[in-house]
């Protein structure tokens, strides 16, 4: 067992197989529950990032990692097993640093994505790396053709703070299993979660030096180097749409592959024949999970105009019953926001809602008795026009807007009236009617009557400004592959 995944003098970087300090010293990591400093992380510099990229380049170009799926599968399973062996340390880190409710660490916040690593290991062993195409006669020349899938090369993975383990592993798992080498740059808000991966990989796996590198840093520009550096072949970024556009622009200079999983403003559509109480209660509850800090959460509730008042009353009743709490408590689903900066952002949208003529029926402030930490009440807003920024922009807090619609076509129109297209939900009892609405909504994932789309074997991603490419599933694995066609005379 590793003695401590958060040593008192600061978590290390992982560069070229070695656990090292940051050239810029250390920076503080803070509890979103109390607002107090809880420890230190290595502060990587541009020099450190350059060394990590060089190590990843050498490991890809000069070792057999990319051509040995058996070794890769074994190493990915070793990382999974090491994380499972240290799961309680990881759980406490995740709660302390990310403010993740303890309840969620048994699922998507920790244990789920750790177990998912095994799926990618198995895929590496069973994937069709070579496919023989039928004999063809282009230009009268009888030709045998072989299709090969090969690793892209060096992957730069830039990840956010909201679900650090899930997003880190959803990139590392397929990228490593596919034969790439990786440099991981996590968000400054959650460096420990990523540093723990580096420690466990260095001490408990056979991952060769340079194949996996972890660079924590307080400087966002250090991560931007991954998009700019010509030694990096692919950038996999999850975060805001604004930053994603910058990553895409920077990557264009070297024409590298880019995977982007960006923002969302998903619609929860309740059809006229739906179970109104069940649907509205689900919408209200889900937007409170992890204080609304999820890009795929549905933050616009669309209900029939004829049932608007009843729907608002049901939604208000449910949201009013959700109390923000200490993420250490077993019953908490709505913990703190990640930082004071994020709370100020959410509160600025609540003020904007008031200025735009919206009515805040539930919440709208800081919860009583929570003077420490970065808590915001679950908030329900009505009366806003669809042109309001509160309706159109991603807030990333426990804030739900209710909007009326006139008929199914109007519901689809409003749902699509967004620069985003990441997720959403449709509730109704008539299968044909539901399917027509589902077919009309332009979004990457949809839940019907409470169905769960999240799974390691299911691709996740969005339309429009919600991103490019897919994460998870075979489609997510293949984001990290190139296609090579070889032709022989037959």
Q: Kindly list the catalytic residues.
A: 261
On whether the CB atoms of residues 34 and 326 are closer than 8 A, the answer is: no
Q: Are 345 and 391 in contact (CB under 8 A)?
A: no
At 244 the three-state DSSP class reads helix
H or E segment to which residue 111 belongs:
helix 111-126
Taking the C-alpha atoms of residue 403 and residue 421, their distance in angstroms, rounded to an integer, is: 18
Helix locations, 231-378, DSSP H: 241-252, 276-286, 308-320, 340-355
The tokens describing 476, both together, are 């997510």
> Could you give the CA distance from residue 339 to residue 37 in angstroms, rounded to a whole number?
12
Sheet (strand 234-238) strand order = 18-20, 13-15, 212-214, 181-185, 154-158, 234-238, 257-261, 467-468
Helices and strands counted in the chain (H then E): 15, 22
CA separation for the pair 322, 166 (Å, rounded): 25
């Amino acid at each position: 067992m590793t003695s401590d995944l958060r040593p008192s003098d600061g978590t290390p970087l992982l560069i070229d197989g070695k656990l090292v300090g940051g050239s810029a010293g250390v920076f503080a990591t803070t509890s979103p529950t109390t607002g107090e400093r809880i420890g230190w992380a290595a502060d990587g510099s541009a020099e450190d990032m350059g060394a990590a990229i060089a190590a990843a380049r050498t490991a890809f170009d000069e070792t057999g990692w990319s051509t040995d799926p058996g070794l890769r599968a074994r190493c990915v399973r070793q990382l999974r097993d090491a994380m499972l062996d240290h799961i309680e340390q990881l759980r406490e880190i995740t709660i302390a640093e990310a403010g993740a409710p303890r309840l969620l660490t048994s699922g998507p916040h920790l244990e789920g994505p750790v177990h998912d690593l095994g799926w990618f290991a198995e895929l590496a062993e069973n994937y069709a790396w070579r496919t023989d195409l039928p004999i063809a006669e282009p230009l009268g020349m009888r030709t045998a053709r072989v299709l090969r899938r090969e690793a892209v090369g060096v992957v730069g993975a830039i990840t956010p703070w909201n679900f650090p383990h899930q997003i880190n592993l959803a990139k590392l798992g397929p990228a490593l299993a596919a034969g790439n080498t990786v440099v991981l740059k996590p968000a400054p808000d959650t460096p420990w979660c990523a540093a723990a991966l580096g420690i466990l990989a260095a001490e408990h796996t056979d991952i060769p030096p340079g194949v996996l590198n972890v660079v924590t840093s307080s400087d966002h520009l250090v991560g931007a180097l991954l998009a700019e550096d010509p030694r990096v072949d692919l950038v996999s970024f999850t975060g805001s749409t604004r930053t994603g556009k910058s990553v895409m622009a920077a990557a264009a200079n070297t024409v590298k592959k880019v995977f982007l999983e960006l923002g969302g403003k998903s619609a929860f559509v309740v059809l006229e024949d739906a179970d109104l109480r069940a649907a509205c209660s689900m919408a209200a509850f889900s937007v409170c999970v992890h204080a609304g800090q999820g890009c795929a959460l549905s933050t616009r509730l669309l209900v029939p105009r004829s049932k608007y008042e009843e729907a608002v009353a049901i939604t208000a009743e449910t949201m009013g019953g959700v109390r923000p709490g200490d993420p250490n408590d077993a019953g908490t689903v709505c913990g703190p926001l990640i930082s004071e900066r994020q709370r100020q952002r959410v509160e600025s949208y609540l003020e904007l809602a008031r200025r735009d003529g919206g009515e805040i029926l539930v919440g709208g402030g800081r919860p009583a008795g929570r003077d420490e930490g970065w808590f915001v009440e679950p908030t329900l807003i009505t009366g806003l026009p669809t042109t309001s920024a509160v309706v159109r922009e991603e807030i990333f807090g426990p804030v739900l807007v209710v909007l009326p619609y006139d008929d199914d076509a109007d519901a689809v129109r409003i749902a699509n009236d967004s620069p985003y297209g990441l997720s959403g939900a449709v509730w109704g009892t008539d299968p044909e009617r539901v399917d027509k609405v589902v077919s009309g909504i332009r979004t990457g994932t949809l839940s019907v009557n409470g169905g769960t789309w999240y799974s390691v074997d299911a691709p996740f991603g969005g339309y429009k400004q919600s991103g490019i490419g897919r994460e998870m599933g075979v489609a997510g694995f293949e984001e990290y592959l190139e296609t090579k066609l070889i032709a022989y005379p037959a």
